[in-house]
Structure formats: C-alpha cells, structure tokens
Amino acid sequence: MMTKYVVFRVQNQEYCLSIAHVQSIEPMQSVTRVPTDINYVRGVTNLRGTVIPVIDLGLRLGIDAVQTTLETRIIVLSTKDDAAVGMIVDAAQTVIDLEDDMLQPALDSDEVAFTKYLVKVEDRVLYILDSERVMSIDA
Amino acid sequence: MDNSEYLQLFIEETEEHLQSISDHLLKLENSPADLDTIHEIFRSAHTLKGMAGAMHYENMAHLTHEMESRLDDLRSGRLTVTEQVLDVLFSAQDVLSEQLKRILESGSDDGIETTEVIQRIRSLGSVGADQTTSPVSRAKDAPWGRDVFSSARQAMQSDKFVYDISVEVDKASAMPSVRGFMVKQLCETLGEVLAMDPEDPSSDQFQGTLHLVLATEKDASEVLAAAKSISEIAQVEVQSFDLAPAPETRANTSQNAPQVSAPVQSKSVRVDVTRLDLLMNLYSEFLTDKTQLEQLAETRQDKELTEVVQHLSRVGADLQEVIMKIRMVPLETVFNRFPRMIRDLAKSLDKKVDFSVFGAETEIDRVLSDEIADPLIHILRNSMDHGLEHPDARIASGKPEVGTVSVRAYHAGNHVYIEIRDDGAGIRRDKIIAKATSVGLITPDRAALLSDEEVFDFLFHSGFSTADKVTDISGRGVGLDAVKTKIESLSGSVTVQSVVGEGTTFIIRLPLTVSILSAMLVRVGDESFALPVGSIVHMDKFIEQPSMGGQLRKMWDFRGALIPLVHLREVLSVADDAPKDAFIAVLSKGDKLSALVVDEFIGQYEIVLKPLGKYLSGRIHAISGATILGDGQVALIVDPNAFFS
C-alpha cells in the first residue's frame, strides 16, 4: 500500500512522518516561552485563534536546538486526543509516496531515537519517525 | 443505511429518556402506586425501543422491549411495584446507560452483558402475575420481539409489504376461537405470518382480539377485503408495519393510557457545542482587533475614529454578554445524576436519607458545568459516607432516623455558589487538630489560635483522612485535596462550615464564566503576562524595604501588615539582565494577601481565556492558561493561587 509522507529536515538528516498525523505546515512564527523544565518545549503559539504548544524537534531528538532561518517551519501534528502540537524543524521540503514494503524496521543499533523505520530513496536514507514517541512527554 | 446523521440526535434523546427513567423510578420508589409515573417510565422505555430499533441497536431494543413488557404489567396491575421490581428496573437503566456509552465509543451496542438483567426482568413477570388469568389480548401496541423486527426488515428488503393487522371478532360470536383460527389460516394463505398475539387464536382462551404481523406481496386493500370476507369479524385494521414506532402515537393508542398532555414547546434550538466554541474564538479575534483599534484611536487623536471605536466597544460589550448567556447551561444537567447516586449510596451504606436539590435552574458556563461534576460527586460521597450517621446512631442522639442531604445552588454577584449540606454528625475540631498535629501540619500551641474555618481547611490537605475505616465510597487517599485543586483550577474556592451534632456544609464558589476575564497586562523583562484583575487588591510603585532582604522568605510591609513578597521574574524564571522591579501588585485570596513584583503595568484588558491543552497541563507552574493579544502574540495568564500555597 502507498502512503504519503511529509519529508522534513533537522540538521543534515531527512525525516518523514505519515501525512495522516500532519495537520498543517506553517512558516516559523513568534513563540511565547512557557516556564517549564522540559527543555524541548519552546512555548506556545497562536495557530489561527487556538493556542498550541510548540516543541523543538532538534532538542526532542537529542541533537541541537533548531536555529531560525527563512526555511524554518512549524509542522502541526494532531495528537490522539484531537489536540494539536507544533514541531519546529529546519525545513519541510516535499511530500513523497512510499510503498509499505519499502520500509525497513529500524534496529536498535541504528542509534536513532524515535525512528520507527528506515527507507532508502535513490541515494538518501530517510528516517520515519514514531509520531507517538515524539509527541510523548518523558516523565 | 447510514445513521451517522441521526446518531447525535439519538444519543441526546436517549440520554434524556434514560434520565427521565431514572427520575421517575426514584419518584416511583416514594409513591409506588402512582400510575402516571409508571406510565412515564413506560413511555420512555417504549420510545427508546423504537429509536434503538430504528438505529439497528438490536441489543438495546431487545432490553427496552423486555422492560416495556414488565412496565405494561405494572401499568395494568398484573404486577405491583416492589423493591425488587425497582432494583431490577434500576439495573436495566444502568445497562442501557452502559450500552449508550458503548455506542458513543464504538458505534455499536454489542458487548454489554444483558442476559442477566433480562433474566431478572423476565423473572419479575412470574411474580404475582398469573399467566392464565392475564388477558390474552393486548392493545395494538403489542410488543413484538426483536426477531419480529428483523424478519420484518428482511421481508421489506425483499420487496414485500409488512402489515400490522388487528382483527376484532364480533363480541356476539359464539365461538371466537373458530374465527380466530380462520383469520390465521387466511393470513397464512396471503403470505407469511411473522408474529401473532395471542400465539394460538384457535385455543379456547382466545377472547376475540387478534393482532398479527403479516409479510405479503398483496397490497393493503386486498388484505383488508380478504379479512372482511370472514363472517363475524367486527373490525379489521391494516397498517403498514412500523419499524420505528413513533413514541407518542403508539403510546396513545394503548388501552387505558392516561391522556398525556402535549409537550410544552420551548423556544429553543439545539446547538452543537463546537459551534459555540467557534463563536467564542471569533469573538476573541474581534476583541483583539477592537483593542488594537482602541489603541490606534488613542494615538491618532482622530475624533471621528474615536467615536466609531467607542460605539464598537459598546456593541462589543453587549455581544460579549449575549455570547456568555448562550454558553450558560442550567446546573440541572449536573445535578440530574445525583438523586440516583444518593439512592445507591444510601443502600450500600445502609443509611437512610432524604435528598433534595434546590436551584437546579441556576446557570453556569458550560465549561464549568462539565468540570464541576466530579468534585460535587466527591463531596456528596463524602457527606453520605462520613457526614451522615447510621439510623441507629441518629436515633440514639435524638435525631430523626432519616438524615437529610441537600444541594443548593444560587447566584450572588459575579459568582455561582453551590452548597452541599448534611445534617450528620458534624466535624470535630479536636479530631482534625489531633490528626493535623500527628502528621506534622501544625503544632498544638498554634492550633489553638486557628479559626474553625482554618482548621477545617486541613481536610483538603493531601493524604488527610479522619475516617476511621476506609470504605469503597470515599477515603481512598485521593480525597478532598483533589476536589480543592480542581475547584481552584476553575478559579473557584471551597470552604467548610460544620457544627458538631448538627451537620456539615461545603460551600463552593465559582465564577460565572472562565472564558472571558478582566486582566491587568504586566511586563517582566521582555515578556508580557496577564494577571486576573479579580485577585488584585492594590497596585503601587515598588520601593525596596531594606529590612526585608536576607530572610528565608521575603516579606513586604503592606499597610502595617507583613505579607509574603514574590518576584514574578523569579517565579516564571524570566531571563533578565537588568531587572527594573518597578511596581508591585497586592493579590488576595480569601483574607490572605501576597505581594507580586513586576517591571511595568501595561493596562487593563478584557481577555479570552485559551486553555493550554493536555500536552502542557500540569507541567507549567503558576500559569492557568493563555490569551491572544492585539498583535496576535500569545500571553500567559498567571494563576494567582500559586502565590498562596
């Protein structure tokens, strides 16, 4: 079966998320800081009249904070309980179709947190993220 | 058939009927001979059966059908209302509620165990009902089993007509059973008889009224003519079989049915709550633009613009009032479930109680009404479990055997008050102090100085329970502290009054609305925060008082009293290299005060509260929500309660 995926970039790695989880992709906009201990929570932002939390995917994946440039995007994901969470990425590039049998389960040895599958497209390797894990809050 | 369009309607109406069944069962418990009440329950069960059948919820239709049969027995006096009957009907209502819940969750009523309750309903039928003397004929609303409905549906799908036929044999007939047999035979030649009541019209018991469901390819006039060709038939009625009997018409055709007054037409419409939320969102955008316009008019100093903006502000204020009113719902929606709950609690605790509700029509913001139910239930359980004494203890202390518990709601000022009162044993101050001392909340010397209210406030401390034994009703550790936290998160408060021997009252105070509030915007560093105006009692320039530094906890001299001093910058960990700390806001909660230091007061605004959502809830200290400012930026709303713990 074919599924559509949004492809986006954090640092030099490309990641994918099934389009089913993605509500919209927004240009970077002003984010209000919230006082919290969770380091990857950037704050909250105004998404057309609704206040949504925004996380820094760079920090979430344990890399570096995303630096704001013209390419920076907020990918808005729908969570299980119908809420929305924004995710800051370095760039959101394309949408691609992937056959389910192209996906290879990620191994522990792949050393990539939050990755569910790997997929090889031409000469690139894309990491397909586990959206539930990305959206979860570590205790 | 796609039922999704009707599902919402089905759910709402089913909820109403289940509530009505519960209310009337409680009423019946007090006046078991009231036929009107029985009839109301019958009507609801009947309507539910029809709706469930139409929506293809076979399990629900089946259960309501069984209920209906027993209710019919009650109505006609074949069965009398006993405690056992009520218990079974209550359980049936519970199962129906479960089914509805399941339908909500999964879209199907499968998987809820009904065999047991149906068995119990059926077993009631044999109690006191003598099968041989019960009338063999029924009214036209003879209850067909669900198998009949499904075979009727199948027949219709294969392009047959299905008729509901009732035949009345002439009373003068010497042998009605022969006529009955002839009707049966005739029908069998016309098509397929799906059901017949009584099952065997050729028996000698047959009294002359036959009711049957026929699937046939003939049309109604042919069936009618054929039936009339039999001699000694007084009356034949052929109607197409109704898969979903309309409640009113069906109920009214039944024998002995008391005339039901036409329902009062209320001039209201049902509105999907998401539309109300949308309206609120739009209004908040309007509010932001309005604020911007006001600022613009102020800087431009344009007379015409100022006038228009002033008018716009007035319209805005009126609009706000209307929107708030639309969002209000009567507390009835919350209180409805209490009588049943109290009844069950009284039974399981073996206590006697007279429960009453006052002011159920009091209106409150819908958001609050959704949230307040759990705390109220908790307090009621507490009153039933710990407040009210057992009947023998009550008699021993010279009180009436039956205790009273009441819930009373009313408006006062900009608040809604809900009081939960019991006439139980009351709370013993010394017991609370002993417990508070033993867990180290207070020293005995200090305790003597506390007011009763302050002592009772210990009840809301986590892990504080004075109940001698833990029951499954309350006293499970998660107790009144959760209640207090919840109510405070709704910007409300809860206090306790109690007199030993006379009873206890919990008083809950809630704002009318939590959606729109007046707030003072303050600046700290580069960040803006909204401070609810309701909790600010005084604003002033901040002058550092030298003697106050260096202590474990900073204090501030306010009109001769020392109150805790807090820097908002520190509480919210605002990064700021050059703090100005220029102003101070004195906040109050009850009679407690606290001083909050900020850099600047920006101004007072009407703001729309936006929840922060589940993702962040409980993870941000001292913040109760957010709002969107005139420039589209989000500002956090400071929770004043955080400065009083």
Nearest CB to B636: which of A34, A81, A83?
A: A34
CB distance B325 to B353 below 8 Å: no
- Sequence-ordered strand ranges (E) for B402-502: 403-412, 415-422, 493-499
Q: Report the C-alpha gap between B173 and A139 in whole angstroms.
A: 84
Q: Whats the size of chain B, residue-wise?
A: 645
Split at pLDDT 50, 70, 90, the class of B156 is: confident
Q: What percent of chain A has pLDDT over 90?
A: 46
Q: What 8-state DSSP symbol labels residue A32?
A: B
pLDDT at B324: 81
Q: What percent of chain B has pLDDT over 70?
A: 88
For B447, phi then psi, to 5°, come to -60, -35
Residue B618: closest C-alpha in chain A: A36
Task: For residue B405, give the nearest of B339, B332, B481, B309 by alpha carbon.
Answer: B339
Amino acid at B119: Q
The dihedral sign for the CA sequence B145, B150, B154, B159: positive
What's the token pair of residue B621? 């200290």
Residues of B with Cβ-Cβ distance to A51 under 8 angstroms: 610-613, 626, 628, 634
pLDDT at A112: 66
Split at pLDDT 50, 70, 90, the class of A5 is: very high
What's the token pair of residue B367? 């958001």
Matching residue, tokens 């009679």: B591
Q: Does B568 touch chain A (CB under 8 A)?
A: no
**Other C-beta atoms within 10 Å of B615: how many?**
21
CB distance B179 to B173 below 8 Å: yes
pLDDT at B297: 86
B235-270: per-residue pLDDT in tens? 888 877 776 543 333 333 333 434 444 444 556 777
CA distance B546 to chain A (A): 29
Q: Whats the size of chain A, residue-wise?
A: 139
Q: Quick check: B1 pLDDT over 50?
A: no
| B residues 284-343 closer than 8 Å to A (CB) | 284-285
Burial class (CB in 10 A: 0-12, 13-18, 19+), B93: buried
pLDDT at B357: 93
B412-467: per-residue pLDDT in tens? 877 889 999 999 988 888 888 888 888 777 888 888 888 888 888 888 877 666 55
**At A85, is the secondary structure helix, strand, or coil?**
strand
CA distance A85 to chain B (A): 8
Split at pLDDT 50, 70, 90, the class of B216 is: confident
CB distance A60 to A15 below 8 Å: no
Split at pLDDT 50, 70, 90, the class of A75 is: very high
Which of A32, A38, A40 would you mutate first to test chain B, the one with the most B CBs within 10 A?
A32
Split at pLDDT 50, 70, 90, the class of A41 is: very high
pLDDT at B458: 84
Provide the ipTM.
0.90
Would the CB atoms of A51 and B610 count as touching at under 8 Å?
A: yes
CA distance A11 to chain B (A): 26
Q: Which residues of B252-285 are buried (b: 16+ CB within 10 A; e: fewer)?
A: eebeebeeeeeeeeeeeeeeeeeeeeebbbebbe
List Cα–Cα distances, B27 to B31, B70, B91, in angstroms.
Answer: 6, 18, 16
pLDDT at B575: 83
- Sequence-ordered strand ranges (E) for B10-143: none
Split at pLDDT 50, 70, 90, the class of B323 is: confident
CA distance B149 to chain A (A): 38
Q: Does A136 touch chain B (CB under 8 A)?
A: no
Q: Give the mean pLDDT of chain B.
A: 81
Nearest CB to B615: which of A30, A46, A53?
A: A53
Residue B629: closest C-alpha in chain A: A46
Q: Check residue B560 and give left, alpha or beta (phi > 0: left; psi -120 to 50: alpha).
A: left
Between chain A and chain B, the number of residue pairs with CB atoms below 8 A apart is 70
pLDDT at B546: 65
Q: Quick check: B615 pLDDT over 90?
A: no
Burial class (CB in 10 A: 0-12, 13-18, 19+), B351: buried
Residue A78: closest C-alpha in chain B: B615
Residues of A with Cβ-Cβ distance to B620 under 8 angstroms: 34-36
**At A5, is the secondary structure helix, strand, or coil?**
strand
- Sequence-ordered strand ranges (E) for A13-139: 13-18, 22-27, 41-47, 50-56, 73-78, 84-89, 91-99, 104-105, 115-121, 124-129
Q: Report the C-alpha gap between B8 and B393 in whole angstroms.
A: 49
Residues of A with Cβ-Cβ distance to B285 under 8 angstroms: 49
Which of A44, A80, A132 would you mutate first to test chain B, the one with the most B CBs within 10 A?
A44
Residues of A with Cβ-Cβ distance to B281 under 8 angstroms: 49-50
B70-104: per-residue pLDDT in tens? 888 888 888 888 888 888 899 898 899 888 888 88
Would the CB atoms of B636 and A32 count as touching at under 8 Å?
A: yes
B471-511: per-residue pLDDT in tens? 444 444 447 888 888 888 787 889 999 998 899 999 999 98
CB distance B521 to B602 below 8 Å: yes
B556-612: per-residue pLDDT in tens? 888 888 888 888 988 898 887 777 778 999 998 877 899 999 999 998 888 888 878
Would the CB atoms of B614 and A81 count as touching at under 8 Å?
A: yes
CA distance B491 to chain A (A): 20
Q: Does A36 touch chain B (CB under 8 A)?
A: yes
Query: Which residues of B does the annotation mark as catalytic?
Result: 46, 68, 382
Bridge partner residues of B415 (DSSP): B412, B511
pTM of the model: 0.54
What's the token pair of residue B544? 């550092």
Nearest CB to A30: which of B616, B620, B633?
A: B633
HSE, side-chain direction, 13 A CA sphere, residue A69: 11
Across residues B197-215, what is the average pLDDT? 79
Split at pLDDT 50, 70, 90, the class of B53 is: confident
Q: Report the C-alpha gap between B133 and A71 in whole angstroms.
A: 86
pLDDT at B473: 45
